[in-house]
A and B are shown apart, each in its own frame.
Chain A
Amino acid sequence: MTADAAQTRAATTPVACLECDLLVDLGPLAPGQRAQCPRCGTTIAASPKQGLHRPLAFALAAAVLLMLANVYPFLAFKASGLERVMTLTESASALYDDGSRVLAALVLTFIVIAPAVLTASVIALLVPLVTGRRYPWLRHIGRLVFVIGPWSMAEVFLIGVLVSFIKIAKMATMLLGPSFWAFFAFTVCLTAALAALDRHYVWNAIEGRDA
């Protein structure tokens, strides 16, 4: 603990550009300020204007919306007097029932599990940080937040819905259910939360120092 405290008092953490490895001496950034690598131009840090309140607000909204998206019907399909309604998770379970188990697992991971874990870990990370509490496990959650990102494909799935819509428009009527709109809003909120989460700022906060 004393070693940690001593480290906290040090002026800056040595940071290197993740694209070109140039060592950069980052002083404290003013809110809204951005630091670019002088060698390759990559943004190394961007200090958020409203601290961590903004991503937390978006992540909380995203969590509620994702729950709603899992409760209500996602899409409905009407043809020749027959109607079929599907839920969000059925896009994976129908594949599973058909025998495509690996594909079902991938789809479930990309559209439900990864987005849900991402949202939950952003909340678990930011609630303690915003309320000024520090726990040793925060670093594990922080790592999860920055590693799982590429596997959350909610926004890609939305485009998939749009394409499906047009593909079957000729055969039948397709209706968007409440879950679709909840999932759409969820995607917007999660994207906004992640966009407001600066790597450098968040890790300084986890270490207990100001940007």
Chain B
Amino acid sequence: MSAYPQGTAAAHGLAACHVCGKASSAALHRCPRCEAPIHVRKPDSLQRTIALLLTAVVLLLPANILPIMHTENLGRVTPSTILGGVVLLWEEGAYPIALVILIASVVVPIAKILILSTLVLGVARASTASPHDRARLYKVTEMVGRWSMIDVFVVAILVALINLGDLLTIRPGNAALAFAGVVVSTILAAGSFDPRLIWDQVPAQKESDA
């Protein structure tokens, strides 16, 4: 029991419920208040996070190489990739939107994968880097991930809206599903990482109750 810092729920043999926050005996498998499964720490947190991050990395390749949509204009089919779309918007002078897409579709997924990998490595190697900074990084990745879905929604809207037969039709490309997969697996990866692991290596400060 003393593997955990003094003053934490774990050190008292308690497991905090993720859903309602109640700390209950770790011997229980379900929270007595809300019936959600409870664990002292998320099970196999690091392994699951790494597995999901690897999935995201693998999907990142088709997501960026394959076309995300095809524009059919009078019999001519023009495929466009995520980066191609950003370049096109930039050339048209739509700088703010080009930046939004660049950040949401390219920078955020890669940054999220790098940050979560760093956090996993930090826990595995008992890093001495500031736990406050690492916890903050984790919260940012948790919040920002969903915004990467913008490009997938853009494809969904354009496919539904631009359907004028031979004149002009937009069809989804294979990168759309791959990219949705990247976003979903990074959201799941962030969810399976347990931020309490960051703090487990930090000796708790002055604690009054035993």
The chain A residues found within 8 Å of chain B, CB to CB, are: 13-23, 25, 39-42, 44, 75, 77, 79-80, 82, 84, 86, 90-95, 98, 100, 102-103, 106-107, 110-111, 139-140, 142-143, 146-147, 150, 153, 156-157, 159-164, 166-168, 170-172, 174, 199-200, 203, 206-207
Contact = CB atoms under 8 A, between A and B. Distances in A.
Given A15-B23, A16-B8, A86 B132 contact: no
Given A39-B205, A40-B135, A166-B97, A21 B196 contact: yes
A9 to B, nearest CB: 15
B19 A147 contact: yes
A20 B202 CA distance: 10
B9 A16 contact: yes
Contact of B167 (A23, A82, A102, A206): A82
A103 B176 contact: yes
B20 A22 contact: no
B14 A14 contact: yes
Interface string B5-33: 00111101010101111111000000001
Given A79-B167, A166-B94, 20 more contacts: A18-B16, A19-B199, A20-B195, A23-B23, A39-B7, A41-B132, A75-B157, A86-B160, A94-B159, A102-B177, A106-B152, A107-B152, A143-B35, A156-B149, A156-B150, A160-B154, A163-B151, A164-B154, A168-B162, A199-B21
Given A79-B164, A146-B20, A157 B8 contact: no
A90 B160 contact: yes
B163 A84 contact: yes
A82 B7 CA distance: 68
B48 interface: no
B44 interface: no
A92 B9 CA distance: 44
Contacts of B160: 86, 90-91, 93-95
Contacts of B151: 160, 163
Contacts, number: 203
Contact of B161 (A16, A107, A142, A174): A174
A159 B150 contact: yes
23 contacts: A18-B18, A18-B195, A18-B196, A39-B199, A40-B131, A40-B199, A41-B132, A77-B161, A92-B156, A93-B160, A94-B163, A100-B176, A110-B149, A150-B146, A150-B187, A156-B147, A156-B149, A156-B153, A163-B101, A164-B154, A167-B97, A168-B158, A170-B92
Contacts of B18: 18
B177 A20 contact: no
Interface in B108-140: 131-132, 135, 139
